[in-house]
Structure 1
């Protein structure tokens, strides 16, 4: 993992955006799913990877770990009128993913945002598969898969991503295979780099607690 951390620091542009926002009084529940925009800690902009339930029946979601820290409040980017709908409750710095626990009274979970639908989770994509993502900033983009070029449980693709797309679900058809974490070099020109979803789920299950046993809606 040390090799991976060095590579990330030297070569990768992280993909969360930043801004200051306010929240307001409660409103009807926000519809949220993989591809929904998130405001974390009143300043970071990222994207929800998937939403579902863990083994304890809690409503939880995933996003990129560099988007915030445990305790950060979560506000839907497109439904800021709803206010805080959950909190980041844990993260992995090594695998760059985070777990969000949502308030089920404030969120209506769905498996489709835009043209991306998630019906299952699966093994990583490989060349010459084509995968797609739904992100806060660049919406729906697709690209060829290059594979796990560094043998680090991360898959490189040619999808267009920019800041704010961190956490976006990467799908092969309707199967969730990864999350967007970064790009190399220049946005939408250099390859996208993302963590494989099977590795994330295995890590969640190994550590237990909130998020363990996660299954998407």
Structure 2
């Protein structure tokens, strides 16, 4: 299945797309303590839709950046927190790749406390793609923490990951882990949410593509 076909299927099935929200997220001013934001945090994009942050960390230039699904927003889109709306805009999309379906967010480090653990869901390293019969878990804005068996790269593209985790609209971008090791990102599901398999992207393929651009995000590693 081509990545472009997966997007068509995703749209038709409301596959892990952003959840629409009403207007009115506060513009906000910096407050103390700063909101803890990390992999598994729900994010609001342009006060209209919600997705999930994959990971947060620093790139080689020392910028505080995060990852999410590419269909969640375009460059310039503003990012706020689902959990801490009063803190206002915390960052902006700076790049969106629609082939691998990932996006880079540059956060304002004066407004965010980067977190390694969000609600008991911790990320402490990077790992190889999940393969059958690995058990993987994710934390998403909509369905929270769910786990399931990994099927591997079913289509042989080298970047896709297939699992049997429950995901729904709004879980886009959710981190996929084995234990506490980040191995992928949630992008879509096949057929019916929480019944059909989840389809995502290998985190190593994403990071390799980011590094090849030698721009914001290059050298990114989670905190």
Q: TM-score range by the shorter chain?
A: over 0.9
Normalising by structure 2, report the TM-score. 0.93
Alignment of 1:26-175 (within 5 A): 26=29, 27-28=31-32, 29-152=34-157, 153-175=159-181
Unaligned runs of 5+ in 2: none
Query: Deviations 1:27-76 (Å, cap 9, x if unpaired)?
Result: 33211010000001111100000000001000000000000111000001
Is this contact kept in 2: 1:36–1:135, CA < 8 A? yes
Q: CA deviation at 1:158?
A: 0.6
Unaligned runs of 5+ in 1: none
**For the residues of structure 1 that align with 2:131 and 2:146, how far apart are their CA atoms?**
17
**For the residues of structure 2 that align with 1:21 and 1:78, how far apart are their CA atoms?**
16
Q: SS where residue 165 of structure 2 aligns? A: coil
Cα RMSD of the aligned pairs, angstroms, is 1.3
| 2:48 is the alignment partner of 1:25 | no
**For the residues of structure 2 that align with 1:54 and 1:176, how far apart are their CA atoms?**
17
Could you list the structure 1 runs, at least 4 aligned residues long, displaced by more than 4 angstroms after superposition: none
Number of aligned residue pairs: 216
Q: Match for 1:207 among 198, 203, 213?
A: 213
Q: CA deviation at 1:122?
A: 1.3
